Amino acid sequence: MPKLSRYFETRRDASGAHTLIVNLDGSPLLRLAMTNKGTAFTAEERRALHLDGLLPPHISTMGQQLARVYAGFLREPSPLAKYQYLRAIQERNEVLFYALLEGHLAEMLPIVYTPTVGDAVRQFSNLYQSARGLSFSPHNIDHAHEVAGNCLFDDVRMIVATDSSAILGIGDQGYGGVAISIGKLALYTTGGGVSPFRSLPVGLDVGTDRADLIDEPNYLGVRQKRLRGEAYLDFMDRFVEAIHQRYPKAIVQWEDLSKDAAFTVHERYRTRLPSFNDDIQGTGAVTLAGVLGACKLRGEALREQRIVVYGAGAGGAGVAWEMVRGLMRDGLTQAEAMQRVFVLDSKGLLMSARAMEDYKRPFAKTDDDVAGWDGSPADLLDVLRCTKATVLLGLSGQPGTFTEPIIKQMAANTDRPVIFALSNPTSSCEALPSDVLRWTQGRALVATGSPFDTVAIAGKTYEVGQGNNAFIFPGLGFGAILAEASEITDAMVTSAAYALAAYTEEKHLAAGRIYPPVEELRIVSARVAAHVIAQAIDDGVARSAKVSALRGDLPALIAHVEHKQWKAKYLPFALGRGVALSTHPPDESNG
């Protein structure tokens, strides 16, 4: 019997049908989002679970409930109001929330994730309504094991943890960044198929360096400067030890850590517990997938490209490394691959003679590398001209930095320049897709990190590809869960990128798309997860005998993933001291 929590668990009968066994009834049952079906409780369930009279008389199907809550969503006047509305449903009826999100994913993804979630983070303390997940802080980290033990769930498999130091493009947000963890896990469930009853958002409140937050009367976080250095690492050590002991099979995704902490934390813990950093690895993988698709459209190989990465934070460095791995997979040596990737930070091209963070140094060029250049390595336009770059990837968080001369230089370098302005949210995008396409007469292959509308130029319509990490992290995480991976290897991340690229080529490349539509996220995630599992087996880090038995059989792995994906549907209920109730909610629209 798969145990979920101290209050409820599932039981499967001989036919494979599941029943939810609950250890509470009456009003408490309705107050717990994981067990509340609202008006969908059947007449028999209402009597047996002591709910009779506590609900309206009408017994609703899930379809009727969905119509009602979707109409309410449409009535909300602004994206932030819609976000609050969806979060309220999530805290009231977990299954209904995910069924609603599944049915309207393209419409609601920008609400529960970027860009709207950025506004929700900024206003988190003022919008706060209910607790979710776990919070670790200097106030409780000395008894972190006790804190972990307070969690309702007993078998968590996916954790998203943030210290809120580098949220999207808006920086230090103090405790408010926990909203990012909540939003990411919503996509793990809707897009990847991870059960919401096996996932956990975590806020690592190590303080904030923003005086305005510390002085804000409504601020809900710790009112102190951020922990740094050994104090920060000691905090993280305690968290990792406690969470790994409580949930030894859990995958941890590190989210929105500052660039220095991101690399330190990733390297410090990646072999202590299976973990990855989406800002580094997810961004790198989704970008590589898009560049691979663009190369296919141009009829060129990746190894022929000259790639400029503008922005050397966690995302930029992650993209640069993934480009190198892709070039090596395409036949180059690492040294040859590094010579084709040029990375710029706020001071210009990374040059070995100047001071920089350690994580940037592998990409630093020498004076010999730029000998004979007619221009300054500090200037993006000169770098593009001197390298004859064919691919320009923006991860700077600096809006409007891809100016008309920049774009026109790319168009002079190659007939179909690849230009991805990937910084989130939309307000941080390096260039508007409409400008890029107009300045290149529609020749550029364009992608962004956040959603943009199609662009019409001279009577022709252009789709704007969305290089959204959601195409990678749900499948990467779910694949690691099913493989029971002891570590998430670099090769598993690269395999996720190639899985996404292969799916796009199969389904959408002929129509000129370099990323699939977000409506296909669950299908994409199953493909990604299967490739991740296959790579975990090859890398010797898969501990699951079940998936290891499927080695070499990718269709069987895809089928296994699809079978394991959680789906938003109501189960019949029974009291823990009773027997399963035989009546299901009326008609088949509830599944």
Which residues are within 8 A (CB) of 559 and not within 5 positions of it... i.e. 6 or more apart?
none
Query: What is d(CA 89, CA 112) in angstroms, rounded to the nearest whole number?
Result: 12
DSSP letter string over 56-76?
A: -SPPPPHHHHHHHHHHHHHH-
Tokens of 561: 């993933």
408 is catalytic: no
Instruction: Point out which residues pair with 460 in neighbouring strands.
Output: 457
> Hunting for tokens 């972990």 — which residue is that?
148
Cα gap 35→91, rounded to integer Å: 11
Rounded distance between C-alpha atoms, residue 444 and residue 447, angstroms: 10
72's CB contacts (< 8 A; 6+ apart) are: 85
CB 141 within 8 A of CB 235: yes
Residue type, 556: A
One-letter identity of residue 184? K
Q: Could you say which of 184, 259, 360, 365 is catalytic?
A: 184
In order of 228, 270, 472, 477, 524, the CA distances from 531 in angstroms are: 38, 20, 11, 12, 11
Active-site residue identified among 83, 98, 113, 188:
113
DSSP state of 456: E
**What are the phi and psi torsion angles at 364 (to 5°)?**
-70, 135
**Residue 184 catalytic?**
yes
Cα distances from 478 to residues 255, 288, 342, 443, 522, in angstroms, run: 16, 20, 33, 37, 11
Neighbours of 294 (CB within 10 A): 27
Question: Active-site positions?
Answer: 113, 184
